Amino acid sequence: MTSVVVMALLRWDERPELRRPALVAGFEGWNDAGNAASEAVAYMSRAWAASKFASFSSEELWDYTSTRPQVRLEHGKTRYIEWPKIRLSWAHLPGRDQDVVFLSGPEPQLRWPSLASELVEAAGELGVTTAVFLGALLADVPHTRPVRVTGGADDPELATLAGVEASYYEGPTGIVGVVSDAFSQNGVATVSLWASVPHYVSQNTSPKATLALVERTARVLGTSIDVAELQMAAAAYERQIDDLVAADEDALAYVRRLEAQDEEDDKEAEREKRRSDDVPHLSPAAGERLAAEVERYLRDQRS
């Protein structure tokens, strides 16, 4: 009889003893418009001096024709191959008797259920009490307005703290949705935060969306973080787009229409809140526009 050997995907460098840690996760790729989610995790990791302790680097997770390994130079001349890897690191939360675990890396193409299962198991070993999942999406929003952060939470108190409402989305999901569901199904309180990035600057990294995610995450974790660097980058980003838009009359008119629509959405949302004694929900008008935008985007991709 042939024995079956189960190969673990997670590789531990060490097993830190942590104090009621919260998990903060962000993946590169489909879930990461404007690189906002991955940059948010990277920024917090640097700010709080996170230390790596484990990783997913198995070739079973990636299709290397989609997620390519990178050639790097060390000391300006020695070449080496950097393979895709999902890293786990940890840090102390400033002002809290608590730690944080960061999860970051490219979205894998393969074995999502296995990855999610091992993450849940590892989180149990580490004593993770709360999980915050970050994402960013392209949306029909102007770059001049405050970044909209949507999402959801399975705990009413967390939802209020995060300033998000229940999501009624149905459709394709990415690794963020899969892992978040796995944690929720295993009794870990989860929060999802998604920043909206203007679709007309989709090729640019968005420090403004990154700033919104970092500030909202810090609020959920009950801590503070110095965001001066991000604030300066966000201001420069907005000025640069302002200059580009101002040079094109059609683009300027389009942004003005988006601004007007955004203001109307805010008014409609406020009216909805006043009409309802329950948790606020997405207004019908905003939902119809979002659905139309998604359909248009998918038609363009197929073309």
List, for residues 203-252, the tens digit of each pLDDT value.
Answer: 889 999 999 999 999 999 999 999 999 999 999 999 999 998 889 888 88
Digit-coded pLDDT (tens) for 142-199: 999 999 999 988 888 888 888 886 667 788 899 999 999 999 999 999 999 999 999 9
Q: What is the pLDDT of residue 269?
A: 67
Model confidence at 6, in pLDDT bands (50, 70, 90)? very low
As a whole-number percent, the residues of the chain with pLDDT over 70 amount to 85
Digit-coded pLDDT (tens) for 102-120: 999 999 999 999 999 999 9
- Most confident of the ranges 44-48, 81-85, 261-265: 44-48
Tell me if 142 is assigned to some domain.
yes
Q: What is the pLDDT of residue 104?
A: 97
Number of other CB atoms surrounding residue 2 within 10 Å:
4
Q: What is the pLDDT of residue 77?
A: 76
Tell me if 239 is assigned to some domain.
no
Tell me if 243 is assigned to some domain.
no
**265-291 mean pLDDT:** 56
Q: What is the pLDDT of residue 75?
A: 80
Residues spanned by the domain of 26: 17-226
d(CA 186, CA 195): 26
How far from chain centre, in Å, is Cα 36?
7
Q: How many separate domains does the chain show?
A: 1
Tell me if 23 is assigned to some domain.
yes
Model confidence at 279, in pLDDT bands (50, 70, 90)? very low
pLDDT value at 131 more than 50: yes
Tell me if 174 is assigned to some domain.
yes
Tell me if 59 is assigned to some domain.
yes
Contacts of residue 112, Cβ cutoff 8 Å, sequence gap at least 6:
175, 178
Number of other CB atoms surrounding residue 257 within 10 Å:
12
